[in-house]
A and B are shown apart, each in its own frame.
Chain A
Amino acid sequence: MVSDRLLHSLLALFAALAAGLLLLVVGFIAQEALGLLQQLGVGAFLFHGEWQPYAGRFGLLPMLLTSLLLMLGAVAIATPLAVVGAACINFYLGRHSAILARRLVEIAAGIPSVVYGLWGLTLLVPLLAAIKQPGASLLAGMMVLALMILPTIVVVVDAGLRALPTHYRENAEALAIRRSGFVFAIALPAVRGSVITGATLAAARAIGETMVVMMVTGNLVQLPGSLFDPVRALTANIALEMAYAMDEHRSALYVSSLFLLLFAVALVLTNQLLLGWRGRHG
């Protein structure tokens, strides 16, 4: 039998390796990005609109805005629908249909993003193209992303609703409060923490998503003038240019990775802080 000391050190080594992965990833990306960042300054990336890597112009503004708009749009579409959907599953559907509905939502939450992209590309984009060419657009991106993150939010909110004490419902009934009144005045406010968690998780997923946006937004680097304009997101840009980017161009991709990383991390930490704060303040 191995000794306690040996096992302890071995496991500590594994844990250090696992936790060290983060340092490795962040450190590597930052190291590759910092040179160019120092040379050109953050402003050259954030406040300039021209992305011409061969001319040494690395303005990320259009793609940064696109990524933010895609994320905000998707979360704005998905969150209210998901919350109402979760309420429907919990308080409107019967026991057996609720079980079936939950299964369906779980399955939808586990479907790979490339399949959502496929759906968007073959079903939604032609539909939008019939309204206004070319179809692949900011709006398409928002809609498909919303569809992709919706099941995740439903799962989180549903878990929150299911954890509510049953006496809430009983008290509400005793006070002659109707079901809809109970749902919107008592149950949903009581799980607003879950809603926030679900929405932040979903936002992090949306801003980091690559396949969907690459497949349905048209990948044209420009400031979107309307919802129907084709655009390119930060993630798609990395994936599209990684294969051939060299030198400064490649560093610029690391800079955009760094921004993405910081953004996703900020979302997670915000969520943790909110959860911690709620934990302490009821």
Chain B
Amino acid sequence: MVEAATIAPPLGARSTLGIDTLVWGVGLALLALFGLLLAEMFAAGLPVLSLEFITGEASDAGRSGGISAVLVSTLWVVALAVGIALPLALGTALYISEYLGRGSTLYRLIHGSLDVLSAVPSVVFGLFGNAVFCELLGLGYSLAAGALTLVCMIVPVMVKASVDGLTAVPTELRAAGSALALSKPALIGHIVLPAALPGVASGVLLGVARALAETAALLFTSGYVLRMPDSPLDSGRTLSIHIYDLAMNVAGGDRFAYGSATVLVILLLMINGAIALVSSYAHRRTTDS
């Protein structure tokens, strides 16, 4: 006789409480750790922030005064680097996505070398930049040399974001343009690029973020003179180098190191926010039509 089926008894009474607790514990501890670190930084840094700190001149090796020279140097380096990298990256991205077939050898070659380039340690770029831009090109320790070094580092990031933006342009738009007998340059200029603008914009912002965060590659290219630069051919110290120098080489520089770190992180947060805005705008635009 076959017995009537009964509801299965619980297999193994093992409780999963232990595992659940572990996951909760690790997860919350990690989040708390990062939260606390950020809070610590703001707690130490925000009190330092003032108009005087942002616009004033540094004195006493950076222990007092302000960081105006540092901010100006940072602006020079970032603007130059992104300004030079943008046409290069955009041109490359256009070539890859509009003229090369996916999976062609050339496509893989360019992509592969950019992938590798983005994995090269930044101190190696520093050594390279020092030898090539500072010495070979004779730029010396200068904001321009630092910017050129950064160009090598941010091009891969910007190409990748731009290619993503370009490939996201709907094929219907390309077909519509082609069917209207637009030439390829016109198709790219009037249809594809405007539609890919959000992707390109976030590529630029990523490049800015990368340039702002970089330290090691700049130590021996842009230098670390704490003076207001008159031109990009002067040496100057960016925010990240300023933080490093205050923390490592200036006794009692911690307070202002945290102040500068706060400024840097706030700038990066603003860039993050801008990227989020741009991509939500792009999202809205594509779902609208």
Residues of A within 8 A of B (CB): 1-4, 7-8, 10-15, 17-19, 21-25, 28-29, 32, 81, 84-85, 87-89, 92-93, 101, 104-108, 110-115, 117-119, 121-123, 147, 150-151, 154, 178-181, 183-184, 204, 207-211, 214-215, 235, 238-239, 242-243, 253-254, 257, 260-261, 264-265, 267-269, 272
Contact = CB atoms under 8 A, between A and B. Distances in A.
A1 B116 contact: no
A15 B110 contact: yes
Contact of A87 (B23, B122, B159): B23
Contact of A268 (B116, B131, B264): B116
B102 interface: no
A272 B244 contact: no
B184 A239 contact: no
A13 B87 CA distance: 11
Interface in B231-254: 240-241, 243-244, 247-248, 254
Contact of A4 (B114, B185, B209): B185
A242 B126 contact: yes
Nearest to A12: B95
Contact of B127 (A92, A115, A208, A242): A242
A89 B24 CA distance: 9
Interface in B211-225: 212-216, 219-220
Contacts of B38: 107-108
A18 B152 CA distance: 8
Contacts of A211: 215-216, 240, 244
Contact of B123 (A4, A106, A117, A238): A238
A204 B94 CA distance: 29
A119 B209 contact: no
Given A7-B188, A25-B152, A268-B119, A118 B132 contact: no
Given A4-B184, A29-B124, A178-B16, 11 more contacts: A14-B91, A15-B95, A22-B113, A101-B31, A112-B264, A114-B243, A114-B261, A118-B258, A180-B23, A242-B130, A260-B124
9 contacts: A8-B99, A25-B128, A85-B27, A114-B241, A119-B41, A123-B40, A180-B23, A184-B19, A211-B240
Name B's interface SS. helix
Contacts of B22: 84
Contacts of B131: 28, 32
A210 B268 CA distance: 20
Contacts of B114: 18-19, 22
A261 B124 contact: yes
A269 B117 CA distance: 12
Interface band, chain B: 35 or more
Interface of B: 16, 19-20, 22-24, 26-28, 30-31, 33-35, 37-38, 40-41, 87-92, 94-96, 98-99, 109-110, 112-117, 119-128, 130-132, 152, 155, 159, 183-186, 188-189, 209, 212-216, 219-220, 240-241, 243-244, 247-248, 254, 257-258, 261, 264-265, 268-269, 272
Contacts of A115: 41, 243, 261, 264-265
B33 to A, nearest CB: 8
A2 B190 CA distance: 13
A15 B92 contact: yes
Given A123-B40, A238-B127, A265 B95 contact: no
Nearest to A111: B265
Contacts of B130: 242
Contacts of B185: 1-4, 7
B268 A208 contact: no
A239 B127 CA distance: 8
Contacts of B188: 7
Contact of B212 (A28, A87, A112, A261): A112
Contacts of B28: 88
Contacts of B247: 117-118, 121-122, 215
A28 B132 contact: yes
Given A11-B91, A19-B114, A112-B268, A85 B30 contact: yes
Given A115-B261, A268-B116, A18 B159 contact: yes
Contact of B34 (A29, A105, A179): A105
Contact of B272 (A110, A114, A204): A110
Nearest to B19: A180
B37 A235 contact: no
Contacts of A17: 88, 92
Contact of A180 (B16, B30, B241): B16
Nearest to A237: B123
A208 to B, nearest CB: 3
A6 B183 CA distance: 12
A2 B23 CA distance: 59
B91 A239 contact: no
A274 B19 CA distance: 30
